[in-house]
Amino acid sequence: MIHWYNGELLTEGTITLSISDPGLLYGATVFTTMRVYENNLDHELTQWQDHCHRLSESIKAFNWQSPNWQKLREGAQDLSQHFPVVRMTLFPDGREWITGRNLPTDLAQRQQQGITAWLAQERHFRRSFPNYKTGNYLSNWFALQTAKEKGAQEAILVDEDGNWLETTTGNLWGWKDGIWWTPIVNKALAGVARSRLIKILKQQNLPVQETVWTPHFVNSLQALGYSNCVVQVVPIHTVI
């Protein structure tokens, strides 16, 4: 039940919001989810600065009030002592809400054996403000629940032309002809894990390219997977 809200560490499973709070009424929040390695926000793999940069750029884009960054770090540090995964949410007026959770119990199995994904082609599965991680995540959540009903563990979102964009929780990766490929993110979220992986591949002189994932391009891929900060990289062995 432990979580952090508006400068305080709480042990009850609820927070109090005004009935006129835009975060409650419209999902007017931005958030980022990070995996904290060795309970250390400054661990290289935690990517603390990258997650704070994501939040900072989001509130600048929406012209929202900046949070108390020191309090945000204090709350994240407290939660990281209890959970390996920490989600930091900001409200338009600068309030912070930080929650934690455990890693998926079958993460190792997913990483080793891969998962099934469902192609969410309907228009209502396209999310608003695709370049930002906002609290209005209904389309992603709905697509993921629909995927689970169909026996899949993830859903793949597409644009109006049927080009593949991202999964409900991460960025897509493909492999063919000795090159790693990932979709251009002009209509999708540039994930923190994605950016780190691109940097690592380039440092190791491994070819990586961005392109539009048309259905024709997707059919040419030899391998498929997705990434985010929690699961790192998970293969996709089947697409429904």
- According to DSSP, the residues that pair with 115 across neighbouring strands are 236
Ramachandran angles phi, psi of 51, nearest 5°: -70, -40
Q: What is the rounded distance in angstroms from the CA atom of residue 68 to the CA atom of residue 26?
A: 23
One-letter amino acid of 199: K
Q: What is the rounded distance in angstroms from the CA atom of residue 50 to the CA atom of residue 60?
A: 15
Contact (Cβ atoms closer than 8 angstroms) between residue 67 and residue 81: no
CB neighbour list of residue 104: distance below 8 Å, 6 or more residues apart: 110, 230, 231
What's the Cα-to-Cα distance from 121 to each of 56, 190, 236, rounded to whole Å? 32, 21, 18
Q: What residues does CATH 3.20.10.10 cover in the chain?
A: 107-239
Which CATH architecture describes the domain 107-239? Alpha-Beta Barrel (3.20)
Q: What share of the chain is helix, strand, coil (3-state, %, to 5)?
A: 30, 30, 40
CATH topology of domain 3-101: D-amino Acid Aminotransferase; Chain A, domain 1 (3.30.470)
In tens digits, what is the pLDDT along the chain, a chain of 240 residues?
Answer: 899 999 999 999 999 999 999 999 999 999 999 999 999 999 999 999 999 999 999 999 999 999 999 999 999 999 999 999 999 999 999 999 999 999 999 999 999 999 999 999 998 898 889 999 999 999 999 999 999 999 999 999 999 999 999 999 999 999 999 999 999 999 999 999 999 999 999 999 999 999 999 999 999 999 999 999 999 999 999 999
Q: What residues does CATH 3.30.470.10 cover in the chain?
A: 3-101
